Each structure stands twice: as C-alpha cells, then as structure tokens.
Amino acid sequence: MGTRGLYGFRTRGKRRGTYNHRGSYPEGLGRQIVKFIKNLDSDQIKVMLERIAALIWVKETDIPSEEERKYYQDKRFENQCWKDNDDWYQLMYPHQDGKALQLILDGWMKHMIDDSDFVLDGSWSGSWAYFIDFEKKEMEVWDSGYWVADVKFEELSEEAMTENNFSLENVLEQGRAKMQVPF
C-alpha cells in the first residue's frame, strides 16, 4: 500500500482536503505541491484564490449529474479503469497526486472531493497532509494527524521537502507538534 494523505486548502481558517492514495510523503506529493507553488507569479496566486473560493466540494460517493460528467469527460477526465465513472471518486481518480492544482489554475476543475473526514476514520497514522493557504501565502504540513509546520511560500524549497525535515518524530523531539486533528 502506498503512503496515503490529503492535500487541499485553508481558506478563512477552514480546511478542506481531498484524498491522495499514494506517494503522499514530503518527497512525493509534498514536492509536487511545492514545485507548483514556486512556479506561480502574483497574478496566478490571485487566480488560485478566486478559483478555490468558487470550488464546489462534493462527497466521493455522490453521483455527478449528466452535465457535470459530460463537462469532465469532454476535458478527458474520465477514468479508463472504470467504464461508468458513476461517482465523483471514479471520475476524479486520475487527478490525484496534486494534478488538480494545475487544473484549478487553468479553470478546468470546478469540483473537488471533500475527504476531510479521512482524518477522523482512524486510518490517519502514517499519512501526510498539506493545506495551502493562498491568502497567507503559506502551506501547512501534517504527519499522522499532527501539525508539524507552517511554511511561508518564499521559504518553500523542493530540496527541503523530506520526511526527515517534517517527520512527527523529529517535530515531537523539538516540542513543536500541535493539535491532533486539523478539522
């Protein structure tokens, strides 16, 4: 099994995230997110703020309407693994691993699956989460249900995104861990 996690956004103090099935450790998903953020200019950050505010959050088992399904299929969102793409999870599955960030910026992704309750189902241990706050220009990093860091955009670097730098064990040694559940 891969390293599961969440990535999403913090807006006005509220966190929403979507499930990521594998590669969620800092050297994987963390670096993908950092690379995306570091390539944004100030105008694109403003666009991300607007588009994130307009996102429609859905549950993975909800059924998209025919119009919604057609919208995403026309943009080649359909998942080749499932012929029907009956629910949001099947429709959006190919766009895990942080791929949604560019699609949001480009104006193509209008929905995201809200898997925020993933951290409450008892399976959080060993999982990573990243919440991007485009208003404050910082990213939260969580390990196993514990906050481990707030990193300003200007301080982000792909090289620093290592499990060693953000592991819960190291952060606990430094006395930095906060609340257990981020919601």
Contacts of 118 (CB under 8 A, 6+ apart): 4, 6, 17, 19, 124, 127
- In this prediction, residue 86 carries a pLDDT of 79
Residue ranges covered by each domain of the chain: 5-173
Are 32 and 73 in contact by the 8 Å Cβ rule? The answer is no
The pTM (predicted TM-score) of the whole model is 0.86
pLDDT tens by residue, 58-74:
998 899 998 998 888 78
* 8 Å CB contact between 138 and 156: no
Q: Which residues of the chain have pLDDT under 70?
A: 1, 77-85, 118-124, 167-183
Write the pLDDT tens digit of every residue in 4-22. Answer: 889 999 998 889 999 888 8
Q: Which helix (H) or strand (E) holds 47?
A: helix 42-54
Write down the pLDDT at residue 42: 96
Which pLDDT score is estimated for 133? 97
